[in-house]
Amino acid sequence: MKKLLVIALGLATFSLAFQSDVKAQAASGDQIRFGIKAGANLSKFGEFKFLDEYYNSKHKVGFQAGIYAEIPLGASFAFLPEATFTQKGGKVEETVLGTTGKIEATVNYIDVPFMIGFRATPELTIFAGPQVSFLVSQKTTFHVNGEEQDDDTSTDNLNKSLAGGAAGIGYRIGDNLNINARYMMDFQNASKEDIGQDRAKNSGFALSLGYSF
């Protein structure tokens, strides 16, 4: 139900953006702009459960790239929708009775945030909003004492879509370039409920460089 509410909120925000005050937009001289972005993110998947014990995951570096739009809402606000390919995941490494085991996962999603931005200055924008993530693929690798043992690419145990949110800041460099930093998190478990990973939630930070047309 939470996922449906977040998706509904995003769609409602999208609709309101296109019904915003057109006169205010024209008076301000702002125009709708589109752009491309790419960068890196640092993510983890919460806690991993093994033999009734929970282990905290460590951050893992990933890649992201996508497209975005800047739709003025009049005054200092804008609607900022995106569609971004994002590598998430994390790693868990523990030593038990002299044996070191490591699990490293890379999970790829298409993130679709519906954010509202507030332009604090002509260059600086603060933004936040809901986000829906759609699963693309995953690869989990298992190591024992530093040696790779096996890997798994099945997505059967993962939810195919997740509701979450994002918040951050953007800084415009000249007319076309911008830098964007944000924190992202999912409100739902990445894993399906029937496999016992009830604390596996994606979260992390992202830094990207964008170019607006």
Assessment of whether the complete model's pTM goes beyond 0.85:
no
Q: Domains plus CATH for the chain?
A: 2-212 (2.40.160.20)
**104 neighbors 91 (Cβ within 8 angstroms):** yes
Could you read off the pLDDT tens digit of each residue along the chain, which spans 213 residues?
455 454 555 555 545 544 444 444 444 447 999 999 999 999 999 888 877 788 889 999 999 999 999 999 988 999 999 999 999 999 998 887 788 989 999 999 999 999 999 999 999 999 999 999 999 999 999 999 888 888 999 999 999 999 999 999 999 999 999 999 999 999 999 998 777 788 889 999 999 999 999
Residue positions counted in the chain? 213
Report the pLDDT value the prediction gives residue 198, as an integer from 0 to 100.
Answer: 80
Report the pLDDT value the prediction gives residue 118, as an integer from 0 to 100.
Answer: 98
CA pair distance 68, 66, nearest whole angstrom: 7
Label residue 97 left, alpha or beta by phi (over 0 means left) and psi (-120 to 50 means alpha).
Answer: left
Report the pLDDT value the prediction gives residue 110, as an integer from 0 to 100.
Answer: 98
Contacts (Cβ under 8 Å, ≥6 apart) of 67: 34, 35, 36, 37, 82, 83, 84
Report the pLDDT value the prediction gives residue 12, as an integer from 0 to 100.
Answer: 53
Label residue 129 left, alpha or beta by phi (over 0 means left) and psi (-120 to 50 means alpha).
Answer: left
Place of tokens 């945030």: 113
Report the pLDDT value the prediction gives residue 181, as an integer from 0 to 100.
Answer: 98
Residue among 137, 183, 193, 143 nearest 160 (CA)? 137
Report the pLDDT value the prediction gives residue 96, as an integer from 0 to 100.
Answer: 77
Provide the greatest CA pair distance for the chain. Answer: 70
